[in-house]
Chains A and B, each alone.
Chain A
Amino acid sequence: MSDVYVAGAGMTRFGRLDATLLGLLAEAGAGALRDAGSPEIQAIYVASMDPEELADEGSIASLFAAYIGRPRLPSLRIETGTSSGAAAFFAAWTAVASGYHDHVLVVAGEKMTSRPTPEVAAILSRMIDPYERSYGATMPALAALVARAYMEAHDLAPKDLAQVAVKNHANGARNPLAHFQRPITVEEALESRFVAEPLRLYDCCPISDGAAAAVLTRERHRVRVAGIGHGADHLALRHRDCLTGFRATQAAARRAYAMAGRSPRDIQVAELHDAFTPFEIISSEDVGFFEPGQGARALARGRTALGGDLPINPSGGLKARGHPVGASGLAQVVEIVWQLRGEAGGRQVDARVGLAQSIGGLASNNFVTVLEAVA
C-alpha cells in the first residue's frame, strides 16, 4: 500500500448561496486542482447525498465531469448520507493507496436551500430506519433521544450543550467561508425555540449550500493521510446497545489510529461532526480524547476552544461553518489540511497531527481520518 498525500484542498463559501450545485462543485474542484499544481488527474470521485431531490440533478458524477470539460475522465459518485464527503475521500484514498490511480480529484457538495425546510427535513429523514420514520422521527428527533439519554446518564444541563454552539460560533466568526460568522451568547442559545426537546434551534446545524474538494496523490506533499477508518452500526436506534456513544465512530477511530500508529493523545486539532451540539461532546469521547461523560467538562474548561490544548472545530464546525450534507465530511478534511499547513488565517492553531470525524445518518456509517504534516 502506498503512502497517500493531500496535494490540494479547496472549498466554496458555505451558506445560502445563489450558485448551482454544479457551479459549487466546480469552484471547489478548481481550487483544489490549482492548489495541487494542476496534476494530471485520472479519476473524479463525487460526493452528494441527494442531488436528485435537493438540486434536481441526476448522474451527478458524469454530469460534473462533463460540466468541467473532462467528459472522458472516469467519475463515480459516493453516498453514505451525511458522511458522503468523508466516504468519497476514503474511496479515493483506497484507489490511490492501492496504486490503481496516481492522482484523484474528490469533490463533495450539496445545494439545500432551494427547498423549503420541512421538505429538506423529510428528505434528510430518509436516512432513518423506515419504522422509526413512520413515527415521525427526523434527524433532530433521534438526536434529541440520544441527547436526553446522554444528559440523563452524565448529568448535563441545557447550558452545557449551548457551550458547544457558543464555542463553534466564535470560531466561525474567524472563518471567512463559514455560513455563520457572528459570535453568540449562551443566553441567545438557551432562548432559541425548541426543534426537538431538549434540542433548541441553536443546538442544530443550519441547512446550507456549499462544496469542498481535495486532490489525493501518491507523490510526496506537505500533508499525509496517516490513518483512515470506516465504522458502521444499526440504522435503527432501537437496535443499538448504547445510546450515549456511537459505536460506528469508535470502530472507525480504532482503525484509523491503528493504521496511523497514533493514539488520541497525539491529536492536536480535530474537526468533529457537530450536526447537533451533543454530537460534538459524544464524538470527542468516541474518538478517545476524553473518558465517557467527561467531554462536556473538557469543553467547559476551555480545553477544546481555539486557545485550548486540543482545539475542536476551529472552522466553526457543522454548527457555524454550515452543513451542506454531502460536503461536510470533506470540508472537515480541508480544514485540517489548512491547519496543518499553517494556512488557517485568524483561526490558526499549532498542530502537526489532526483528525476529522464524520457521521453518516444517525451515526450508522462513520469515518475517522488522521492527517499529519510531513516534515
Chain B
Amino acid sequence: MFESAIPAPQPAPHPVEQRGEGEPIPASRCACGYVAAPPTPFCPCCAGPMVPFQVAPFGAVLSYTILHSPPAGFTAPLSIALVELPGGVKFICHGHADDQRGLRVGRHVRIEHTDDIYYFASMSLGERARLLWSRRGETRQKLRAILRLSLRRRG
C-alpha cells in the first residue's frame, strides 16, 4: 500500500558542491529508494535500514504559510515552507516572512542554513537575523547564531 509513496530510486549522490550550488542537505536513503531529509534511522516507508545520503539544496516550493499565531516561544510573523528537493524529497524550511514578493507555489528556491536551521538563500541578512531571533531557544544561543551569520556574510 506504500508503493505510491516511494519516489523513483536515485542513482548516485548529486555532485552539488562541484557545481557551486551550495552545501548539500544531509539525508538518508533506503534500499527501496526512499530518501528522507533530515536523515532518519529507519525508512519512514518500509522500515528498512537507511544509509547516509545528500540532497542538492534547491527545489520547487510545494506550499508555504506565514504563521501569525505561532506557538509559545516563537515570534510572528513566521514563515514555514515545504520544498521539493531533487528526487522528490520533501523538505521543511523557513522562507520570507515579511517580504513575500515572488513567493508562490512552484517557485524554484535555493536553501542555506545556519546551525542546521534551513531557510531560503534569497533571504537578506536582516531577514535571516530576524528569523533566527524569532525562533524558540535560549537568547545566548540565538545571539551567537546571529553573530556567526553576520561574520560569515562579511567573510
Contacts and interface: CB of A to CB of B under 8 A. Distances in A.
A148 B63 contact: yes
Interface string B62-106: 111111111111100010101000000011111000000000011
Contacts of B1: 251
B1 to A, nearest CB: 8
B36 interface: yes
A135 B71 contact: no
A149 B70 contact: no
Interface string B20-36: 00000000000000001
Interface stretch (A32-40, A72-80, A82-90, A236-244): A236-244
A121 interface: yes
The bracket for how many chain A residues form the interface is 35 or more
A194 B72 contact: no
Contacts of B78: 136
Contact of B80 (A117, A136, A146, A193): A136
Interface stretch (A137-145, A299-307, A335-343): A137-145
B71 A149 contact: no
B69 A196 contact: yes
Contacts of B90: 237-240
B136 interface: yes
B73 A196 contact: no
A136 B68 CA distance: 11
Contacts of B45: 239
Nearest to A144: B65
A196 B94 contact: no
A180 B16 CA distance: 54
Contacts of B38: 131
A136 B44 contact: no
Contacts of B36: 239
Given A149-B62, A149-B63, A234-B44, A136 B69 contact: no
A118 B71 contact: yes
Nearest to A194: B68
Contact of B68 (A148, A196, A234, A241): A196
A141 B5 contact: no
A152 interface: yes
B92 A137 contact: yes
A138 B70 contact: yes
A138 B136 CA distance: 13
Nearest to B44: A239
Nearest to A233: B5
Contacts of B44: 234, 236, 239
Contacts of A141: 65, 67, 80
A122 B71 contact: yes
Contact of A138 (B63, B64, B69, B82): B69
A118 to B, nearest CB: 5
Contacts of A193: 68
Nearest to A236: B44
B4 interface: yes
B142 interface: no
A193 B71 CA distance: 17
28 contacts: A118-B69, A118-B71, A119-B72, A121-B70, A121-B72, A131-B38, A131-B92, A132-B92, A133-B71, A136-B74, A136-B80, A136-B136, A137-B92, A138-B70, A141-B67, A145-B63, A145-B64, A145-B65, A194-B68, A195-B67, A195-B69, A197-B67, A234-B5, A237-B82, A237-B90, A240-B5, A240-B90, A241-B4
Interface of A: 117-119, 121-122, 125, 131-133, 135-138, 140-141, 144-146, 148-149, 152, 193-199, 234, 236-241, 243, 251
- Sorted nearest first, the 9 A-B pairs with minimum C-beta distance are A144-B65, A241-B5, A238-B90, A122-B71, A145-B63, A149-B63, A122-B72, A136-B74, A197-B66
